Amino acid sequence: MKKWVPAASGLLAGFMAATVFFADFSTGPKGTASNDNNANKSNAEKVYVPYGELDEYYMLSSGGHSGQLFVYGLPSMRKIRTVPVFSPDPATGYGFDTKTKEMLGGYTWGDFHHPAISETNGEYDGKFVFANDVANNRIGVVDLSNFHTADIMEMPNMGGPHAGTFVTQNTEYIVMPTRFSVPIGKEYAPLDEFEEKYKGVVSMVTFDQEKKKLDMSYQIMLPPWSYDLSDAGKKVSGDWIVMTTYNTEFATTNNEINASQNDRDYIVLLNWKELEKKVAAGEYEEVNGAKMIDPRKHKGSIYAVPVAKSPHGVDVTPDGTRFIASGKLAPLMTVFSFEKAFEAIKSGDFETEKFGIPVLPYDKIVEREVDPPGALGPLHTQFDDRGNAYNTMFISSEIVKWKIDTGEILDRTPVHYSPGHSTATEGDTASPDGKWIVSLNKIAKDNFLSVGPSHPESMELIDISGDKMSLTYTAPVDPEPHYAQTIHRDKIKTIKIYEKDEKREHSVWKQEDTRIERKGNEVHVYGIAMRSKFVFDAKAKRPDEIKVNQGDKVIIHLTNIDLDQDITHGFGIMDHDLNYEVQPGQTSTIEFTAEKAGTFPIYCTNFCSALHQEMSGYLLVEPK
C-alpha cells in the first residue's frame, strides 16, 4: 500500500505519484466466496462477496455480435471486464493502434459464440481462451496473462465456424467446423448444385504458445450437412472429435421446414491423430493455401453415427467414455458409447456410406435415449462431479438434471426464459467441480427495469452443490449470451505490469532518449507517458508538443514508464478519431496522416493521478 506523505515538500510528488488509495490484494485475497456450506446461507449471502474478498470463478463469456469477450466473477455475477476480440474498442485503443488494427484486418464487427479455454490433460489450464467469429470466418485468441487478444486468423474455405470453438485435450488443435456450406473458395455456384458443389469444412488450427501465433494445420472437406457446437474426446476418446449435423436433407431454402424432414441426422466422428498422419504422408490437396482432406479420396478416420433429428450440439462426458447429443426437435438426449463405436469401426460394421463416410449402425452405438416427460427443445449438456448431466431446454425453459449411468431424471428447475447454453464451473473439463451452473437465457421478459422494446437477456446462477438445484440469482447481460466457460480463479495467473524491456522495438525508457525524427514526410515520435506528463522530445522547448506539416504521415510510439500496477495512460487527439492506451510498461504505436491543418489538443484519456488533468500536449499541423 502506498503511503501518503503530508509534508509540504512532498505534496507535489504525492500528487504526481498517488492515484487512488486501495487495499493491495496482490499477496492474495483474504477469503473467497464459496458455496461449500451453502445449505445454511440465504440466496443473498451466497452471492454476496464482501469488500476485500474476491469471486471464486472467472466466467469467460461470449459477447455475441459485439465481437467481444465478457468477463464475469462468480458467484457475484459482477462484470469485471470487456475484452475486445473481433471489434474495435476506443476505450483501450483496440483496433486503433498499429498492431491491433492490422490484427482486425479492417473488420469492425464479429459474431463470437463459443469461448474455449486452453487445456492440459483435459483440464482448463488458464493460459489462453480461443474465440470464433461466425460472421467473418476468424479465430481469435486472448492471452489470459493480460486479457489482451494475442492473435486473430482468417480461415479460408469456411462458411462460418459456428460449430467451434473447442480444443483437444492438450490443445493440440483448436477445432473450427462450419455452420453454413459454401462452394470451396466461395466461387459462384447455383444453389441447385448444392449437393455436389457446396461443402462443410472443418479447420484444424494449431497455436504456438511461445510465439502466440495461430496457424492452419489442415482442413477436412465434408458434405454440406451444417454443423453445430461440437466437442473433442478425452482420455479413451482423446484422439477423437464429435460433431453434430442438422441438414442432411441438403435444404437450401425454407430451412426451418426443409432441414427438419429426416428422422435422423448424423454425428460425425473424426480421428484427428489418424488424419494428422494422412497429412504428414501427403494425402491431401492444396486448396486456397490450406491442406484439404477429402474423405472420398482419402478414406478412413471419418465416420457418421445416426442421431435423432436436427440435433443441436454434442458433448463428451468428463471421463471421455460417452458422447451425448440433444435432438432439438426430437425431445430427447441420446447417450452414445465411444467403446461401442470403436468396436463397430474395428469390425467394419457399417450400415451404408455417405460421401465416402461409413455410417455406423445406430442401435449398436446407442446406450440410451433420455426423454424427460414434457421437456422440450433440449440443447447443450454440462456436467458435475457426481456423474450427472444438465441440459438446457430451450422451449420448456428449464434445466434438467439426470444421471448419465442410468438416465434417471433427478431434478428440474425453471429458468427465465429460453436457455441456449449453460456453463457449469469447470464444466467442460475432465473434472467438473459441481458447484454452480449459469443458465444463459435468450429472453428475460420484464425481469429487469425496462429499457424499451428490446429487453435485456439474462444469466441465472443456480447452485448445483446439493441434491436439488437451487436458483440463486439473476443478472442482466448484453446481447448475446451464447456460451461461456467457467474456470477456477487459481488457474489464471495475470501479470501485474509489462516487464521493462529496453530492447523492445520503438520503446523509450528515459526522458532524455525521447525524440521526434523526420524522414522525408514521415514524422516518427518516440515518446513517454508517465505521471503526469507526455514527453515526446525532452530537448525541445516544449517537450509535450508534436509539430508536423499538413500531409505528413505521423507515427507515434508511446511507452508507459510507470511500472506500477494499474497506472494506465491514455492518448487521445482531438478531432482525429484516435485514442489508445498504454498499460504499465507497455509500448504501443499509432499512425495517421495529418490531413487537417490546425491546433489540436492531446490529452491523457485514462485517469492516472491527481494531476491527470494536466497530462496533455498539443499537435500542431502547419498548413501547406
- Binding residues for ligand CUK, rule: CB under 6 A, are 113-114, 162, 229, 312-313, 379-380, 420-421, 482-483
Shortest Cβ 293–ligand CUA spacing (Å): 53
Shortest Cβ 608–ligand CUA spacing (Å): 3
Residue 114 binding partner per list ligand CUK, ligand CUA, none, with a CB distance cut-off of 5 to 8 Å that depends on partner kind: ligand CUK
List beta partners, residue 221.
Answer: 201
Give Cα separations from 293 to 174, 203, 248, 274 (angstroms): 17, 11, 20, 12
- Give CA–CA dist 148/266, Å, rounded: 38
Only one of the segments 7-15, 279-287, 573-581, 605-613 lies at the binding site for ligand CUA (rule: CB under 6 A); that segment is 605-613
586 binds ligand CUA (CB under 6 A): no
- Residue closer to ligand CUK (CB basis): 158 or 558: 158
- Residue 386: other Cβ atoms inside 10 A: 13
Only one of the segments 152-160, 320-328, 352-360, 606-614 lies at the binding site for ligand CUA (rule: CB under 6 A); that segment is 606-614
Spatial CA neighbour of 485 closest among 426, 443, 435: 426
What part of residues 542-581 is at the interface with ligand CUA (CB under 6 A)?
569
Which DSSP state fits 186?
A: G
- Residue closer to ligand CUA (CB basis): 271 or 588: 588
607 binds ligand CUA (CB under 6 A): yes
What's the count of helices (H) and strands (E) in the chain, helices before strands?
A: 8, 43
Q: Please pick, from the candidates 606, 617, 619, 621, the single residue that binds ligand CUA as defined by CB under 6 A.
A: 606
Which DSSP state fits 64?
A: B
Shortest Cβ 401–ligand CUA spacing (Å): 50
List beta partners, residue 440.
Answer: 459
Q: What cell numbers appear for 265 in the block?
A: 441426422
Using the CB atoms, write b or e for 305-329: b if 16+ within 10 Å: bbbbbbbbbbbbbbbbbbbbbbbbb
Query: 18 and 609 in contact (C-beta within 8 Å)?
Result: yes
- Give CA–CA dist 611/310, Å, rounded: 61
- Give CA–CA dist 90/29, Å, rounded: 32
- Give CA–CA dist 559/292, Å, rounded: 44
379 binds ligand CUA (CB under 6 A): no
Count of residues touching ligand CUA (by CB under 6 A): 7
Which DSSP state fits 550?
A: T
Query: 620 and 548 in contact (C-beta within 8 Å)?
Result: yes
- Residue closer to ligand CUA (CB basis): 16 or 404: 16
Site string for ligand CUA, 31-50 (x = CB under 6 A): --------------------
Q: Please pick, from the candidates 74, 204, 335, 615, the single residue that binds ligand CUA as defined by CB under 6 A.
A: 615
Mapping DSSP to helix (H, G, I), strand (E, B) and coil, where does residue 181 land? Answer: coil
Q: What cell numbers appear for 205 in the block?
A: 488450427
- Give CA–CA dist 29/33, Å, rounded: 11
- Residue closer to ligand CUK (CB basis): 441 or 532: 441
- Residue closer to ligand CUA (CB basis): 245 or 568: 568
Residue 379 binding partner per list ligand CUK, ligand CUA, none, with a CB distance cut-off of 5 to 8 Å that depends on partner kind: ligand CUK
- Residue 501: other Cβ atoms inside 10 A: 12
- Residue closer to ligand CUA (CB basis): 109 or 618: 618
Shortest Cβ 617–ligand CUK spacing (Å): 46
Shortest Cβ 531–ligand CUA spacing (Å): 7
234 binds ligand CUA (CB under 6 A): no
Shortest Cβ 228–ligand CUK spacing (Å): 6
List beta partners, residue 581.
Answer: 570
Only one of the segments 3-11, 179-187, 584-592, 607-615 lies at the binding site for ligand CUA (rule: CB under 6 A); that segment is 607-615
608 binds ligand CUA (CB under 6 A): yes
Which residue in this structure is represented by grid cell 456410406? 353
Shortest Cβ 113–ligand CUK spacing (Å): 4
Q: What cell numbers appear for 558 in the block?
A: 508511446
Residue 606 binding partner per list ligand CUA, ligand CUK, none, with a CB distance cut-off of 5 to 8 Å that depends on partner kind: ligand CUA
Is the preceding omega at residue 580 within 30 degrees of 0, hence cis? Answer: no
The amino acid sitting at 109 is W
116 binds ligand CUA (CB under 6 A): no
- Residue 517: other Cβ atoms inside 10 A: 11
Which residue in this structure is represented by grid cell 501479470? 495
Shortest Cβ 240–ligand CUK spacing (Å): 21
Residue 101 binding partner per list ligand CUK, ligand CUA, none, with a CB distance cut-off of 5 to 8 Å that depends on partner kind: none
430 binds ligand CUA (CB under 6 A): no
Shortest Cβ 323–ligand CUK spacing (Å): 16
Q: Are strands 388-393 and 398-403 parallel, antiparallel or unpaired?
A: antiparallel
Shortest Cβ 94–ligand CUA spacing (Å): 18
- Dihedral (C-alpha) 447, 86, 91, 101: value to the nearest 10 degrees? -170
528 binds ligand CUA (CB under 6 A): no
Residue 483 binding partner per list ligand CUK, ligand CUA, none, with a CB distance cut-off of 5 to 8 Å that depends on partner kind: ligand CUK
Mapping DSSP to helix (H, G, I), strand (E, B) and coil, where does residue 255 land? Answer: helix
Q: What cell numbers appear for 61 in the block?
A: 463469456
Shortest Cβ 204–ligand CUK spacing (Å): 20
Only one of the segments 132-140, 318-326, 359-367, 601-609 lies at the binding site for ligand CUA (rule: CB under 6 A); that segment is 601-609
Query: 159 and 181 in contact (C-beta within 8 Å)?
Result: yes
- Residue 419: other Cβ atoms inside 10 A: 27
- Residue closer to ligand CUK (CB basis): 334 or 605: 334
Long-range contacts of 246-249 (CB under 8 A, 24+ apart): 246/310, 246/311, 246/312, 246/328, 247/181, 248/223
- Residue closer to ligand CUA (CB basis): 415 or 567: 567
- Residue closer to ligand CUK (CB basis): 421 or 435: 421
Query: 47 and 76 in contact (C-beta within 8 Å)?
Result: yes
Only one of the segments 274-282, 423-431, 500-508, 608-616 lies at the binding site for ligand CUA (rule: CB under 6 A); that segment is 608-616
Q: Please pick, from the candidates 275, 523, 573, 604, the single residue that binds ligand CUA as defined by CB under 6 A.
A: 604
Site residues (vs ligand CUA, CB under 6 A): 569, 604, 606-608, 612, 615
